Amino acid sequence: MANVKMSKKATSIDMTAMCDVAFLLLTFFILTATAKQPEPLPVDTPASTVQTKLPETDLATITVGKGNVFFDLKGKEVRKRTLELMGQKYGVTFTEEEASRFALMEGFGVPIQNLKSVIAMTSSERNRAGVQSSIPKDSLDNQLADWIQNARLSNIEVNDKELQIAIKGDAKEEYPAIKKVMDILQDQKINSFNLVTGLRGKDF
């Protein structure tokens, strides 16, 4: 009887320490993970084998999909200042509260005249399809160019660094739409930018 019990006990391990470590690590990873921001314009980025990561700060992302263009900017202070500059240029005044809401918003794609109403919406309302269309980018009303210009100015003012531009295009997007955005960038003498891509296996 006693013999049987002994052999049973030999297979058991004390897992308390392991469990402690596991949960410690788990807590660490949960706390350091950042929640994925919802995207107002979901795009399917093409894959590439290039491994360079996008910078975390001083970055503006131009999302191009289905002919529409959305703009996103990193950094709260930079966003506030950019909004202020854009407001001055287009004669739209934003209140302090609107500015701080805008600072926490994700990317947007509306003409600045409609931006006020988008800021007032909740996050889920904003991301509903059809609510936001696109930032005007044709030659008559080139707001995209102004957004980029002002974002660069603000970033230099706030962070004292040149803003990096990333283009996030949908894989099925036709080349002229991407080229149009590149041309707008080149008109501002931005000749170096990042193209956001997905990950592809090494053996491609």
Partner 1 sequence: MAELNTGDSGGKKGSKKVRSKKQNSTVDLTAMVDLAFLLITFFMLTTSLSKPQSMDLGLPDKDDDPTKNKDVKVDENRTMTVLLGDDNKMMYYMGLLATPKVAPKNIAYGKEGIRKELLKQKQGVIQYTGNKDKGLIVIIKPSKKSNYRNLIDILDEMAIVDVPTYAIVNDYSPEERKLIGEGGADSTTPAATETAAP
Which residues of this chain interact with partner 1, rule CB under 8 A?
A: 8-9, 11-16, 18-19, 22-23, 25-26, 29-30, 32-34, 36, 45-54, 64, 166, 168-179, 182-183, 186-187, 189, 191-200, 204
Smaller CB distance to partner 1: residue 85 or 151? 151
The minimum distance between CB 187 and partner 1, in angstroms, equals: 8
Cβ proximity of 148 and 44 under 8 Å:
no
Q: 130 or 202, CB closer to partner 1?
A: 202
**Terminus-to-terminus CA distance in the chain, angstroms?**
62
Instruction: Tell the smallest beta-carbon distance from residue 25 to partner 1 (Å).
Output: 5
CA–CA separation, 37 and 39 (whole Å): 6
Bridge partners of 63, per DSSP, are 70, 168
Nearer to partner 1, 21 or 120 (CB): 21
Q: How far is the CB of 48 from partner 1 (least distance, A)?
A: 4
DSSP 204: -
200: left (phi over 0), alpha (psi -120 to 50) or beta: beta
Q: Which is nearer to partner 1, 120 or 199 (CB)?
A: 199
What CA–CA distance (Å, rounded) separates 31 from 157?
Answer: 31
- Output the smallest distance, CB 100 to partner 1, in A: 26
